[in-house]
A = this chain, B = another copy of it.
Amino acid sequence: MIRLNSHPSGRHFLQIPGPTNVPDRVLRAMDYPTIDHRGPEFQQLGKKVLADIRKVFQTAQPVVIYPASGTGAWEAALVNTLSPGDNVLMFETGHFASLWKRMADKLGLVSEFLGGDWRHGVDAAAIGARLAEDRNHTIKAVCVVHNETSTGVTSDIAAVRRAIDAANHPALLLVDTISSLGSVDYRHDEWGVDVTVSGSQKGLMLPPGISFNAVSAKAIAASAKSKLPKAFWGWDEIIEANKNGFWPYTPATNLLYGLSEACDMLFEEGLPNVFARHKRHAEATRAAVHGWGLEILCQNPAEYSPALTAVVMPEGHSADAFRKIVLENFNMSLGQGLSKVSGKIFRIGHLGDFNDLTLMGTLAGVEMGLALAKVPHQTGGVLAAMESLRAAAAQPALRAA
Protein backbone atom coordinates (compact mmCIF):
# COMPACT_ATOMS: atom_id res chain seq x y z
CA MET A 1 0.00 0.00 0.00
CA ILE A 2 1.28 3.38 -1.05
CA ARG A 3 1.16 6.02 1.68
CA LEU A 4 -1.34 8.57 0.42
CA ASN A 5 -0.66 11.19 3.06
CA SER A 6 2.91 11.47 4.20
CA HIS A 7 1.96 13.66 7.12
CA PRO A 8 1.62 11.82 10.35
CA SER A 9 -1.67 13.16 11.60
CA GLY A 10 -4.86 14.81 10.44
CA ARG A 11 -6.60 15.14 7.14
CA HIS A 12 -4.89 16.54 4.12
CA PHE A 13 -6.19 19.92 2.91
CA LEU A 14 -6.65 19.40 -0.83
CA GLN A 15 -7.01 23.05 -1.82
CA ILE A 16 -5.98 22.81 -5.42
CA PRO A 17 -8.84 23.84 -7.68
CA GLY A 18 -9.64 20.23 -8.39
CA PRO A 19 -9.66 17.36 -7.84
CA THR A 20 -11.55 18.56 -4.82
CA ASN A 21 -12.29 17.06 -1.43
CA VAL A 22 -14.56 14.06 -2.00
CA PRO A 23 -17.35 13.86 0.62
CA ASP A 24 -17.48 10.78 2.81
CA ARG A 25 -20.91 9.99 1.43
CA VAL A 26 -19.57 9.88 -2.11
CA LEU A 27 -16.53 7.80 -1.20
CA ARG A 28 -18.76 5.26 0.55
CA ALA A 29 -21.20 5.18 -2.34
CA MET A 30 -18.37 4.38 -4.74
CA ASP A 31 -17.07 1.65 -2.49
CA TYR A 32 -19.84 -0.85 -3.33
CA PRO A 33 -19.14 -3.92 -5.43
CA THR A 34 -19.44 -3.38 -9.17
CA ILE A 35 -22.66 -4.67 -10.72
CA ASP A 36 -23.61 -6.05 -14.13
CA HIS A 37 -23.75 -3.09 -16.50
CA ARG A 38 -26.41 -4.85 -18.53
CA GLY A 39 -28.71 -5.79 -15.65
CA PRO A 40 -31.84 -4.23 -14.18
CA GLU A 41 -30.15 -2.63 -11.15
CA PHE A 42 -27.72 -0.88 -13.43
CA GLN A 43 -30.54 0.28 -15.64
CA GLN A 44 -32.17 1.96 -12.68
CA LEU A 45 -28.87 3.63 -11.80
CA GLY A 46 -28.27 4.70 -15.38
CA LYS A 47 -31.66 6.33 -15.71
CA LYS A 48 -31.26 8.13 -12.42
CA VAL A 49 -27.84 9.63 -13.10
CA LEU A 50 -28.81 10.64 -16.62
CA ALA A 51 -31.81 12.51 -15.24
CA ASP A 52 -29.83 13.98 -12.35
CA ILE A 53 -26.96 15.30 -14.40
CA ARG A 54 -29.30 17.20 -16.69
CA LYS A 55 -30.51 19.17 -13.70
CA VAL A 56 -26.95 20.08 -12.84
CA PHE A 57 -26.32 21.37 -16.36
CA GLN A 58 -29.73 23.10 -16.23
CA THR A 59 -30.70 21.43 -19.47
CA ALA A 60 -33.53 19.32 -20.84
CA GLN A 61 -31.32 18.03 -23.62
CA PRO A 62 -29.09 14.94 -23.60
CA VAL A 63 -25.96 14.80 -21.48
CA VAL A 64 -23.41 12.23 -22.60
CA ILE A 65 -21.38 10.70 -19.76
CA TYR A 66 -17.99 9.30 -20.74
CA PRO A 67 -15.97 6.76 -18.78
CA ALA A 68 -12.97 9.07 -19.29
CA SER A 69 -11.50 12.11 -17.63
CA GLY A 70 -12.23 15.72 -18.59
CA THR A 71 -9.64 16.11 -21.33
CA GLY A 72 -11.48 13.41 -23.21
CA ALA A 73 -14.69 15.40 -23.08
CA TRP A 74 -12.89 18.32 -24.77
CA GLU A 75 -11.93 15.95 -27.56
CA ALA A 76 -15.44 14.55 -27.75
CA ALA A 77 -16.93 18.01 -28.19
CA LEU A 78 -14.65 18.69 -31.14
CA VAL A 79 -14.71 15.35 -32.96
CA ASN A 80 -18.46 15.03 -32.76
CA THR A 81 -19.22 18.39 -34.30
CA LEU A 82 -16.39 19.30 -36.67
CA SER A 83 -14.57 18.13 -39.77
CA PRO A 84 -10.89 18.18 -40.66
CA GLY A 85 -9.74 21.68 -41.58
CA ASP A 86 -12.70 23.41 -39.97
CA ASN A 87 -11.97 26.81 -38.50
CA VAL A 88 -12.61 27.29 -34.81
CA LEU A 89 -12.43 30.54 -32.90
CA MET A 90 -11.03 30.25 -29.40
CA PHE A 91 -10.18 32.75 -26.68
CA GLU A 92 -7.02 32.72 -24.62
CA THR A 93 -8.30 33.02 -21.08
CA GLY A 94 -5.36 31.02 -19.71
CA HIS A 95 -3.62 27.68 -19.63
CA PHE A 96 -6.63 25.47 -20.15
CA ALA A 97 -7.97 27.53 -23.05
CA SER A 98 -4.49 27.18 -24.55
CA LEU A 99 -4.48 23.42 -24.08
CA TRP A 100 -7.86 23.11 -25.70
CA LYS A 101 -6.61 25.17 -28.66
CA ARG A 102 -3.57 22.91 -28.92
CA MET A 103 -5.86 19.89 -28.94
CA ALA A 104 -7.94 21.39 -31.75
CA ASP A 105 -4.78 21.80 -33.81
CA LYS A 106 -3.67 18.26 -33.07
CA LEU A 107 -7.02 16.97 -34.25
CA GLY A 108 -6.64 18.69 -37.62
CA LEU A 109 -8.76 21.76 -37.01
CA VAL A 110 -7.59 25.26 -37.86
CA SER A 111 -7.82 27.30 -34.73
CA GLU A 112 -7.75 31.04 -34.38
CA PHE A 113 -6.82 32.20 -30.90
CA LEU A 114 -8.00 35.60 -29.73
CA GLY A 115 -5.30 36.75 -27.35
CA GLY A 116 -5.97 37.46 -23.70
CA ASP A 117 -3.82 38.60 -20.80
CA TRP A 118 -4.76 35.74 -18.42
CA ARG A 119 -6.29 38.31 -16.09
CA HIS A 120 -9.64 38.81 -17.75
CA GLY A 121 -12.40 36.64 -19.08
CA VAL A 122 -13.57 36.15 -22.61
CA ASP A 123 -14.03 39.38 -24.54
CA ALA A 124 -17.45 38.76 -26.03
CA ALA A 125 -17.26 41.94 -28.08
CA ALA A 126 -14.04 40.76 -29.73
CA ILE A 127 -15.65 37.47 -30.58
CA GLY A 128 -18.67 39.26 -31.98
CA ALA A 129 -16.44 41.51 -34.08
CA ARG A 130 -14.48 38.58 -35.45
CA LEU A 131 -17.62 36.68 -36.34
CA ALA A 132 -19.10 39.72 -38.02
CA GLU A 133 -16.03 39.79 -40.28
CA ASP A 134 -16.53 36.15 -41.13
CA ARG A 135 -19.08 36.73 -43.88
CA ASN A 136 -18.60 33.30 -45.41
CA HIS A 137 -19.11 31.57 -42.12
CA THR A 138 -15.86 29.67 -42.34
CA ILE A 139 -15.75 29.64 -38.56
CA LYS A 140 -17.62 26.57 -37.49
CA ALA A 141 -17.33 26.83 -33.73
CA VAL A 142 -16.54 29.25 -30.95
CA CYS A 143 -14.80 27.56 -28.00
CA VAL A 144 -14.54 29.25 -24.63
CA VAL A 145 -13.77 28.31 -21.07
CA HIS A 146 -16.41 29.28 -18.51
CA ASN A 147 -14.19 29.20 -15.45
CA GLU A 148 -10.50 29.30 -16.31
CA THR A 149 -8.96 27.09 -13.67
CA SER A 150 -5.48 28.45 -14.26
CA THR A 151 -6.40 32.06 -13.46
CA GLY A 152 -9.54 32.13 -11.37
CA VAL A 153 -11.49 34.14 -13.94
CA THR A 154 -15.09 33.33 -14.84
CA SER A 155 -16.39 34.44 -18.21
CA ASP A 156 -19.86 35.65 -19.14
CA ILE A 157 -21.17 32.92 -21.41
CA ALA A 158 -24.52 34.56 -21.97
CA ALA A 159 -22.65 37.56 -23.38
CA VAL A 160 -20.79 35.32 -25.80
CA ARG A 161 -24.09 33.87 -26.91
CA ARG A 162 -25.48 37.35 -27.47
CA ALA A 163 -22.41 38.32 -29.46
CA ILE A 164 -22.79 35.32 -31.75
CA ASP A 165 -26.44 36.04 -32.22
CA ALA A 166 -25.79 39.73 -32.85
CA ALA A 167 -23.34 38.72 -35.58
CA ASN A 168 -26.03 36.45 -36.92
CA HIS A 169 -23.39 33.77 -37.20
CA PRO A 170 -24.16 30.04 -37.33
CA ALA A 171 -21.04 28.91 -35.44
CA LEU A 172 -21.57 26.40 -32.69
CA LEU A 173 -20.84 27.52 -29.14
CA LEU A 174 -18.68 25.08 -27.19
CA VAL A 175 -18.02 25.78 -23.52
CA ASP A 176 -15.69 24.17 -21.00
CA THR A 177 -17.20 24.09 -17.50
CA ILE A 178 -14.82 21.57 -15.99
CA SER A 179 -14.10 23.72 -12.95
CA SER A 180 -17.43 25.49 -12.70
CA LEU A 181 -20.18 22.88 -13.02
CA GLY A 182 -21.73 22.30 -9.63
CA SER A 183 -19.98 25.36 -8.17
CA VAL A 184 -21.01 28.29 -10.34
CA ASP A 185 -24.45 28.96 -11.79
CA TYR A 186 -24.33 27.56 -15.32
CA ARG A 187 -27.29 27.34 -17.70
CA HIS A 188 -26.75 25.19 -20.74
CA ASP A 189 -30.20 25.72 -22.22
CA GLU A 190 -30.90 29.30 -21.24
CA TRP A 191 -27.53 30.46 -22.53
CA GLY A 192 -27.91 28.60 -25.80
CA VAL A 193 -24.75 26.57 -25.53
CA ASP A 194 -24.31 23.82 -28.10
CA VAL A 195 -21.81 21.61 -26.30
CA THR A 196 -20.94 22.00 -22.66
CA VAL A 197 -17.88 20.05 -21.58
CA SER A 198 -17.38 19.06 -17.96
CA GLY A 199 -15.67 16.65 -15.61
CA SER A 200 -16.32 14.88 -12.35
CA GLN A 201 -13.51 16.01 -10.09
CA LYS A 202 -14.38 19.60 -9.22
CA GLY A 203 -17.81 20.90 -8.24
CA LEU A 204 -19.30 17.44 -8.64
CA MET A 205 -17.07 16.32 -5.77
CA LEU A 206 -16.08 13.01 -7.39
CA PRO A 207 -12.69 11.55 -8.12
CA PRO A 208 -11.54 12.10 -11.71
CA GLY A 209 -12.65 9.53 -14.25
CA ILE A 210 -15.93 10.53 -15.80
CA SER A 211 -16.69 13.51 -18.00
CA PHE A 212 -19.58 15.05 -19.84
CA ASN A 213 -20.91 16.60 -23.02
CA ALA A 214 -24.23 18.35 -22.71
CA VAL A 215 -25.45 18.80 -26.25
CA SER A 216 -27.99 20.89 -28.15
CA ALA A 217 -30.16 19.80 -31.04
CA LYS A 218 -27.97 21.92 -33.29
CA ALA A 219 -24.88 20.11 -32.04
CA ILE A 220 -26.48 16.77 -32.70
CA ALA A 221 -27.37 17.87 -36.19
CA ALA A 222 -23.77 18.95 -36.72
CA SER A 223 -22.55 15.58 -35.49
CA ALA A 224 -24.42 13.86 -38.29
CA LYS A 225 -22.30 15.74 -40.82
CA SER A 226 -19.05 15.96 -38.91
CA LYS A 227 -16.16 14.13 -40.56
CA LEU A 228 -13.53 13.94 -37.87
CA PRO A 229 -13.07 10.23 -37.14
CA LYS A 230 -14.75 9.11 -33.93
CA ALA A 231 -15.72 5.89 -32.29
CA PHE A 232 -15.26 5.91 -28.51
CA TRP A 233 -16.46 9.51 -28.34
CA GLY A 234 -19.36 9.13 -30.77
CA TRP A 235 -22.53 10.59 -29.29
CA ASP A 236 -24.98 8.67 -31.46
CA GLU A 237 -24.63 5.20 -30.00
CA ILE A 238 -24.35 6.48 -26.45
CA ILE A 239 -27.46 8.63 -26.68
CA GLU A 240 -29.31 5.72 -28.26
CA ALA A 241 -28.28 3.26 -25.55
CA ASN A 242 -28.91 5.83 -22.81
CA LYS A 243 -32.60 5.82 -23.71
CA ASN A 244 -32.80 2.56 -21.81
CA GLY A 245 -30.36 3.53 -19.12
CA PHE A 246 -27.44 1.64 -20.63
CA TRP A 247 -24.17 2.41 -22.43
CA PRO A 248 -22.84 0.87 -25.65
CA TYR A 249 -19.63 -0.17 -23.85
CA THR A 250 -18.70 -0.68 -20.23
CA PRO A 251 -19.36 2.47 -18.23
CA ALA A 252 -17.38 3.49 -15.14
CA THR A 253 -19.95 1.90 -12.86
CA ASN A 254 -18.50 2.83 -9.49
CA LEU A 255 -18.02 6.44 -10.45
CA LEU A 256 -21.67 6.47 -11.48
CA TYR A 257 -22.54 5.32 -7.95
CA GLY A 258 -20.62 8.35 -6.76
CA LEU A 259 -22.33 10.62 -9.27
CA SER A 260 -25.72 9.50 -8.03
CA GLU A 261 -24.78 10.33 -4.45
CA ALA A 262 -23.11 13.62 -5.36
CA CYS A 263 -26.22 14.74 -7.23
CA ASP A 264 -28.35 13.79 -4.24
CA MET A 265 -26.13 16.00 -2.08
CA LEU A 266 -26.27 18.92 -4.47
CA PHE A 267 -30.05 18.72 -4.70
CA GLU A 268 -30.46 18.33 -0.95
CA GLU A 269 -28.48 21.52 -0.45
CA GLY A 270 -30.22 23.13 -3.42
CA LEU A 271 -28.25 24.39 -6.41
CA PRO A 272 -28.87 28.08 -5.58
CA ASN A 273 -27.48 27.45 -2.09
CA VAL A 274 -24.50 25.62 -3.55
CA PHE A 275 -23.72 28.57 -5.78
CA ALA A 276 -24.20 31.04 -2.92
CA ARG A 277 -21.87 29.02 -0.73
CA HIS A 278 -19.12 29.13 -3.32
CA LYS A 279 -19.55 32.87 -3.71
CA ARG A 280 -19.40 33.33 0.05
CA HIS A 281 -16.16 31.39 0.30
CA ALA A 282 -14.67 33.20 -2.68
CA GLU A 283 -15.51 36.54 -1.13
CA ALA A 284 -13.95 35.60 2.19
CA THR A 285 -10.86 34.39 0.38
CA ARG A 286 -10.50 37.65 -1.46
CA ALA A 287 -10.94 39.51 1.81
CA ALA A 288 -7.99 37.55 3.11
CA VAL A 289 -5.87 38.25 0.04
CA HIS A 290 -6.60 41.93 0.34
CA GLY A 291 -5.82 41.73 4.02
CA TRP A 292 -2.41 40.29 3.22
CA GLY A 293 -1.86 43.16 0.79
CA LEU A 294 -1.42 40.73 -2.08
CA GLU A 295 -2.80 40.99 -5.57
CA ILE A 296 -5.51 38.83 -7.11
CA LEU A 297 -4.68 37.67 -10.61
CA CYS A 298 -8.18 38.34 -11.90
CA GLN A 299 -8.47 42.07 -12.58
CA ASN A 300 -12.16 42.40 -13.18
CA PRO A 301 -14.28 42.03 -10.03
CA ALA A 302 -17.23 41.03 -12.16
CA GLU A 303 -15.23 38.02 -13.26
CA TYR A 304 -13.89 36.78 -9.92
CA SER A 305 -14.27 33.03 -9.82
CA PRO A 306 -16.46 31.55 -7.09
CA ALA A 307 -14.42 28.32 -7.33
CA LEU A 308 -10.83 29.41 -6.91
CA THR A 309 -8.69 32.46 -6.32
CA ALA A 310 -5.32 32.92 -7.98
CA VAL A 311 -2.91 35.09 -6.00
CA VAL A 312 0.07 36.91 -7.49
CA MET A 313 3.34 36.43 -5.64
CA PRO A 314 5.35 39.57 -4.89
CA GLU A 315 8.21 40.00 -7.34
CA GLY A 316 11.28 38.02 -6.43
CA HIS A 317 9.43 35.32 -4.53
CA SER A 318 8.72 31.88 -5.88
CA ALA A 319 5.17 30.67 -5.57
CA ASP A 320 6.40 27.11 -5.82
CA ALA A 321 8.86 27.47 -2.95
CA PHE A 322 5.99 28.90 -0.92
CA ARG A 323 3.67 26.04 -1.90
CA LYS A 324 6.30 23.50 -0.90
CA ILE A 325 6.62 25.10 2.53
CA VAL A 326 2.87 25.00 2.96
CA LEU A 327 2.68 21.37 1.92
CA GLU A 328 5.50 20.25 4.16
CA ASN A 329 4.52 22.24 7.21
CA PHE A 330 0.78 22.32 7.01
CA ASN A 331 -0.28 19.31 4.96
CA MET A 332 -2.07 21.45 2.40
CA SER A 333 -1.86 21.28 -1.39
CA LEU A 334 -2.30 24.59 -3.17
CA GLY A 335 -2.54 24.95 -6.95
CA GLN A 336 0.58 25.91 -8.87
CA GLY A 337 0.96 28.53 -11.55
CA LEU A 338 0.81 26.88 -14.97
CA SER A 339 2.95 27.70 -18.02
CA LYS A 340 2.99 31.51 -18.45
CA VAL A 341 2.46 32.14 -14.77
CA SER A 342 4.54 29.27 -13.47
CA GLY A 343 6.11 30.18 -10.16
CA LYS A 344 4.41 33.57 -10.23
CA ILE A 345 1.05 32.75 -8.77
CA PHE A 346 -0.55 30.20 -6.50
CA ARG A 347 -4.17 29.14 -6.58
CA ILE A 348 -6.50 28.52 -3.66
CA GLY A 349 -9.31 26.11 -4.47
CA HIS A 350 -12.48 26.77 -2.49
CA LEU A 351 -14.91 24.54 -4.32
CA GLY A 352 -16.59 21.22 -3.88
CA ASP A 353 -17.27 19.72 -0.47
CA PHE A 354 -16.17 22.56 1.73
CA ASN A 355 -17.31 24.71 4.61
CA ASP A 356 -16.45 27.85 6.51
CA LEU A 357 -14.05 26.24 8.95
CA THR A 358 -12.20 24.31 6.31
CA LEU A 359 -11.79 27.56 4.45
CA MET A 360 -10.44 29.18 7.61
CA GLY A 361 -7.94 26.33 8.04
CA THR A 362 -6.95 26.86 4.43
CA LEU A 363 -6.44 30.58 4.78
CA ALA A 364 -4.57 30.19 8.06
CA GLY A 365 -2.25 27.79 6.28
CA VAL A 366 -1.63 30.36 3.58
CA GLU A 367 -0.98 33.13 6.08
CA MET A 368 1.40 31.01 8.16
CA GLY A 369 3.09 29.81 4.98
CA LEU A 370 3.65 33.37 3.78
CA ALA A 371 5.39 34.12 7.05
CA LEU A 372 7.53 30.98 6.97
CA ALA A 373 8.48 31.64 3.34
CA LYS A 374 9.32 35.23 4.24
CA VAL A 375 6.98 36.59 1.61
CA PRO A 376 6.25 40.26 2.30
CA HIS A 377 2.68 40.55 3.45
CA GLN A 378 0.49 42.07 6.12
CA THR A 379 -0.75 39.92 8.98
CA GLY A 380 -4.46 39.52 9.46
CA GLY A 381 -5.90 38.40 6.17
CA VAL A 382 -7.43 35.64 8.19
CA LEU A 383 -9.24 38.16 10.36
CA ALA A 384 -10.75 39.81 7.31
CA ALA A 385 -11.96 36.44 6.06
CA MET A 386 -13.53 35.67 9.44
CA GLU A 387 -15.24 39.01 9.38
CA SER A 388 -16.64 38.22 5.96
CA LEU A 389 -17.89 34.79 6.96
CA ARG A 390 -19.25 36.00 10.24
CA ALA A 391 -21.20 38.74 8.51
CA ALA A 392 -22.67 36.19 6.13
CA ALA A 393 -23.57 33.90 9.01
CA ALA A 394 -25.36 36.76 10.69
CA GLN A 395 -27.57 37.10 7.62
CA PRO A 396 -28.88 33.63 6.94
CA ALA A 397 -30.92 34.98 4.07
CA LEU A 398 -27.65 35.72 2.33
CA ARG A 399 -26.38 32.23 3.03
CA ALA A 400 -29.44 30.61 1.62
CA ALA A 401 -29.09 32.75 -1.51
Contacts and interface: CB of A to CB of B under 8 A. Distances in A.
Interface of A: 1-14, 16, 18-24, 27-41, 44-45, 48, 66-72, 74-75, 79, 84, 102-103, 106-108, 199, 201, 207-210, 228-232, 234, 249-255, 257, 260-261, 264-265, 268-269, 273-274, 277, 327, 329-333, 336, 353-362, 364-365, 367-368, 371-372, 379-380, 382-383, 386, 389-390, 393-394
A72 B35 contact: no
Contacts of A3: 41, 44
Contacts of A386: 364, 367-368, 382
A364 B357 contact: yes
B2 A1 contact: no
Contacts of A28: 28, 31-32
Contact of A252 (B36, B209, B331): B209
A6 to B, nearest CB: 6
Nearest to A178: B250
B230 A106 contact: yes
Nearest to A371: B390
Copies in the complex: 4
A277 to B, nearest CB: 6
Contacts of A1: 1, 29, 260-261, 264
B75 A107 contact: no
Contacts of A14: 33-36
Nearest to A247: B69
A172 B209 CA distance: 30
A365 B331 CA distance: 20
B8 A273 contact: yes
Nearest to A277: B9
A68 B68 contact: yes
B11 A36 contact: no
30 contacts: A1-B264, A3-B44, A4-B35, A10-B353, A12-B35, A16-B36, A16-B38, A24-B33, A27-B32, A28-B32, A30-B31, A36-B333, A39-B327, A70-B250, A71-B231, A74-B232, A103-B231, A108-B229, A207-B252, A208-B253, A330-B356, A332-B357, A357-B361, A357-B365, A367-B386, A368-B386, A368-B390, A368-B393, A371-B390, A379-B383
B354 A331 contact: no
Contact of A234 (B4, B20, B106, B265): B106
A70 to B, nearest CB: 6
A10 B355 contact: yes
A229 B107 contact: yes
A390 B274 CA distance: 33
Given A106-B231, A232-B68, A329-B393, A34 B201 contact: yes
Q: Which of A12, A69, A107, A209 has its CB near the most chain B CB atoms (within 10 A)?
A: A209
Contacts of A12: 33, 35
B6 A41 contact: yes
A69 B269 contact: no
A41 B4 contact: yes
A19 B41 contact: no
Contacts of A277: 8-9
A394 B373 CA distance: 10
